[in-house]
Amino acid sequence: MGFDLSQVIRGRVWKFGDSIETDAINPYYRYPTMEELKQHTMEAYRPEFPKQVKPDDIMVAGRNFGCGSSRPGLVLREVGVAAIVAESVARLFLRNSISRAIPIFVAPGVTAIVQDGETLEVDYPQGVVRNAASGKAVALRKFPPMIEKIFECGGLPEFARERYLKEAVSASRPKA
């Protein structure tokens, strides 16, 4: 199952600062199962987050979101986070998120247009992120078509499988 970039994502904001580390997002060294991770994700920054996050909430962060180790943010999807929108994202975390089809967007200026608890709209087709109440908006960076296809397929393994199957079918057809 893929992620549909054509849909506008709308949700309640959880706002974080700069340099959110993967150790806090995914503290697997202390909590080895997904159920345990869900109960402790982001608590180093916001102790109430694991207990109060709801499906379709949106995380907004400053610069360098996901810095640190190469841990993916799967736990954020598991607790219901609909999207992550940050001023900038650590390169490895961004790549890992894309490979797992975790909706993550870079939108410089986003922290200035929304506060904790407000409603944010992520309108990827229009290339904007907007505060639903004030109407203030900033541009979000669009992905190259191949990255969009990875999201559509549900992640990099699914994308590779689909591409391989297409090539295998094409190779098996008799040449005219």
State the sign of the Cα–Cα–Cα–Cα dihedral 7, 13, 19, 24: negative
Nearest to 112 by CA among 88, 131, 126: 131
Instruction: Return mean pLDDT, the chain.
Output: 92
Domain assignment present for 131: yes
Number of Cβ atoms within 10 Å of the Cβ of 37? 21
Q: Is residue 144 one of the residues assigned to a domain?
A: yes
Token readout for 49 is 């987050």
Place of tokens 């080895």: 32
Expressed as residue numbers, the domain containing 50 is: 9-172
pLDDT at 101: 92
Locus of tokens 């870079």? 106
Asked if the structure places residue 3 within a domain, the reply is no
- What integer is the mean pLDDT of 135-145? 97
Asked whether the predicted pLDDT for residue 176 surpasses 70, the reply is: no
The span from the CA of 155 to the CA of 50, in Å, is 25
Question: What is the rounded (10 degree) CA torsion for 4, 2, 86, 66?
Answer: 180
Contact (CB, 8 A) for 52 and 81? no
Model confidence band, residue 173 (pLDDT cutoffs 50, 70, 90) = confident
4 within domain boundaries: no
What predicted TM-score, i.e. pTM, was given to this entire model?
0.90
Instruction: Tell me the pLDDT tens digit for each residue of 40-86.
Output: 999 999 999 999 999 999 999 999 999 998 777 889 999 999 999 99
136 part of a folded domain: yes
How many structural domains are present in the chain? 1
pLDDT (0 to 100) of residue 170: 72
What pLDDT score does 172 carry? 73
**Span 21-25, average pLDDT:** 92
Section 153-165 average pLDDT: 90
What pLDDT is stored for residue 1 in this prediction? 60
- Minimal CA–CA distance to 19: which of 59, 63, 76? 63
Tell me 67's DSSP state. B
Q: How confident is the model at residue 162 (pLDDT cuts 50, 70, 90)?
A: confident
* Both structure tokens of 121: 């709209």
For residue 26, being part of any structural domain is answered with: yes
- Tell me the CATH number at 67: 3.20.19.10
Instruction: Read off the pLDDT of residues 77-125 as tens digits, 9 standing for 90 and up.
Output: 999 999 999 999 999 999 999 999 999 999 999 999 999 999 999 999 9
pLDDT, position 163: 83
Residue 1 covered by a domain? no
Average pLDDT over residues 123-148: 97
